[in-house]
A = this chain, B = another copy of it.
Amino acid sequence: MKKQTIVLACACALLQAQAITTASPDGNVVADFNVVDGVPTYTVDYKGKHIILPSRMGLDLDNAPDLLDGFELANTSSSSFDETWQPVWGENSDIRNNYNEMVATLRQPANDRTVLIRFRVYNDGVGFRYEFPQQRNLNYFVVADERSEFAMPGDITAWWIIGDYDTQEYEYTESRLSEIRGINEGRAVESNLSQQQFSPTGVQTSLQLKTDDGIYINLHEAALVDYSCMHLNLDDKNFVFTSWLTPDAQGKKGYLQSPCKSPWRTIMVSDDARDILASNLILNLNDPCKYDDTSWIKPVKYVGVWWEMIGHDKPWAYTWDLPSVKLDSLDYSKVKPNGVHPANTANVKKYIDFAALHGFDQVLVEGWNIGWEDWSGNKKDYVFDFQTPYPDFDIDELNKYAHSKGVRLMMHHETSSSVRNYERHMKDAYDLMDRYGYNSVKSGYVGDILPRGEHHYGQWMNNHYLYAVTEAAKHHIMVNAHEAVRPTGLCRTYPNLIGNESARGTEYESFAGNSTSHTCVLPFTRLQGGPMDYTPGIFENDLSKFNPNKKTHVNTTICRQLALYVTMYSPLQMAADVPDVYNRFLDAFQFIKDVAVDWDRSIYLEAEPAQYITAARKAKGTDNWFVGGISANGHKSEIKFDFLDKDRKYEATIYADAPDAHYLTNPQAYTITKKKIDAKTRLKLTTAPGGGFAISIKPIN
């Protein structure tokens, strides 16, 4: 591993001053920390402008004196760090981790307690966290709430989803901060199988904002371990966000034992939206990879038995004859099959054949295992055993068949949020995967959590999600966890966490339709902490062709679906539609076959939240490039190919919306043109409303 490390340490005991300041390496970002009347306070400036106004810090404890005031700055220290590291997979093969750090040691004499606050100031923003040394008066303590403020520079614009302890599956709203309350009070939130809002001005992170000056700010957290997930609650008189953690079943927000630390609270800032997308702040704040051997972790391109259920309304369940099932007493071989269960041996073989023919790594199969008849909405404890296939799914034969064709099956563990049940079966479930040659699992947490009263984003569940990942690592299994807490960069430390859903994904195109701005926002928000298994690739917009009862329309052109493989970075990419549909558009499908899932280099060419994104990426270990652009309402792009090697010629295959394409009225119209290009080429491309373009570029010489 190449490393360039320069560490400059300097301990400055400025006991007289109660303030310290640190700037980013390029000087543009400045963080100030003060103790003001005993209250820890910080600000962030960017290029001389106030980005975070004076904001208080601290924690409210349960049944103990607060950690909010009565502090003095007992010590400070500062240092610098500059290292380049290589992720196991990612948007870039090298990531530079370069920051200036300051640490404030705070003493609270009245209670004889010490807290540290560490700031790291990067060129693309700031991270800070609390650290609690082992000490007698802060040994075991319970958090009533964290009170980290983020005082906004006025009534700025935000792209937000409502704060919720159990789901992120909402459309983003673009509004000023002052409008959030009215919008939330004026409309019903989209329903979800598990949801719990807490405030009409509560929002989730990562939160994307923009000042009227054109400065982009993004708030999130990094390294969420053994702590409760942070939301933000807005004081909409003063435009100050305050951290609002997720409660447990008793309303407490965290059980801590010193020595320990909070996650990093992150503030990205730039006057260029592309920097927000390109930022590695969150990965850099996470700990390095903990695994000695990562050779078993590989990006995956897959197809699957999934859209037949989600998009075409076929059942996961094997039978319709039973109102409910009890796994320990039901003999499925005696039950009447419904005959339309897609997760059956013959159908899965078709997907395996398709995957093998077109070079896909894996085939996901949902609905392979007993228990789906009453899996949802019943808060059932013993809902799945994760091991027993339905009578029509020959797990042994299918895995052999897949392997004979150079393909693997992808496992599916829907837990129905019955988490104790999942943990009880986890080792056996992972052992079964080992036995049959599965190396990746899509897991799910649909519905209210059991143990009842816990929330999807509380400390209890965050502990579980990480447990599932570290246990999987013992089996060399990669995890893609849906409905879990939104990621915070832990994939650096545990790179077998190759994906989450944890946002509104492609399935909602079937449930309700997604807005055309949605994927123009997600990279700014959801993708900050880690990749999303967005599962694009839907080519057939009119779902009534498969099921006359379907009324929804998939709001995309075909080319936008292609572009998503570039604009929605993920090491795990699904071609989500069914083979029959792809077979009608094999020329467009070619892009999905060609596009890489792992990159040496990524460049964001243009971007504006909720409007358009264009990205270019170089496929790892090759000289091939892929470019993708999407827009919400139509957009004219001018692409400069100056990222190509200067002395080379390339062939570009350009997949573009036809001139009359439109996501609603003419979504399947596209053109494919080949063109010779080089580093000097400039190309104008127009995306339709809800459209996109995708370009695959190969060197000629």
Which residues of A approach B to under 8 Å, CB–CB? Answer: 134-136, 139-140, 248-250, 252, 255, 257-258, 323-324, 326, 374, 378-381, 420, 423-424, 427, 451-454, 460, 463, 467
Whether B136 pairs with A323 at a CB distance below 8 angstroms is yes
Give bound CA distance, A255 to B326, whole Å.
14
Whether B140 pairs with A451 at a CB distance below 8 angstroms is no
Q: Return chain B residues, CB-CB under 8 Å to A135.
A: 323
Whether A250 pairs with B134 at a CB distance below 8 angstroms is no
Q: Return chain B residues, CB-CB under 8 Å to A374.
A: 139-140
Give bound CA distance, A134 to B329, whole Å.
13
Q: Return chain B residues, CB-CB under 8 Å to A467.
A: 424
Give bound CA distance, A343 to B381, whole Å.
39
Give bound CA distance, A295 to B241, whole Å.
65
Say how far A247's CB is from chain B's closest CB, in angstroms. Answer: 10
Give bound CA distance, A258 to B140, whole Å.
43
Whether A379 pairs with B255 at a CB distance below 8 angstroms is yes
Whether A255 pairs with B453 at a CB distance below 8 angstroms is no
Give bound CA distance, A471 to B423, whole Å.
14
Contacting A257 at CB < 8 Å: which of B326, B424, B451, B453? B326
Chain B residue nearest to A449 in the complex (CB): B451
Give bound CA distance, A378 to B257, whole Å.
9
Q: Return chain B residues, CB-CB under 8 Å to A326.
A: 257
Say how far A194's CB is from chain B's closest CB, in angstroms. Answer: 14
Known: A134-B323, A452-B248, A452-B252. A380 touches B423 (CB 8 A): no
Q: Could you write out 12 A-B pairs with CB less than 8 Å apart?
A: A139-B324, A139-B374, A250-B452, A252-B452, A255-B379, A257-B324, A420-B420, A420-B423, A423-B424, A451-B453, A451-B460, A452-B460
Q: Return chain B residues, CB-CB under 8 Å to A378.
A: 139-140, 257
Say how far A376's CB is from chain B's closest CB, in angstroms. Answer: 11
Say how far A337's CB is from chain B's closest CB, in angstroms. Answer: 20
Whether B452 pairs with A258 at a CB distance below 8 angstroms is no
Known: A255-B379, A257-B380, A378-B257. A324 touches B248 (CB 8 A): no
Q: Return chain B residues, CB-CB under 8 Å to A424.
A: 423, 467
Starting from the known contacts A423-B423, A423-B424, A451-B451, 6 additional A-B residue pairs (CB-CB under 8 Å) come to: A248-B452, A248-B453, A257-B326, A257-B378, A451-B454, A451-B460
Say how far A131's CB is from chain B's closest CB, in angstroms. Answer: 15
Q: Return chain B residues, CB-CB under 8 Å to A257.
A: 324, 326, 378, 380
Whether B380 pairs with A249 at a CB distance below 8 angstroms is no
Contacting A452 at CB < 8 Å: which of B140, B249, B324, B381? B249
Whether A381 pairs with B463 at a CB distance below 8 angstroms is yes
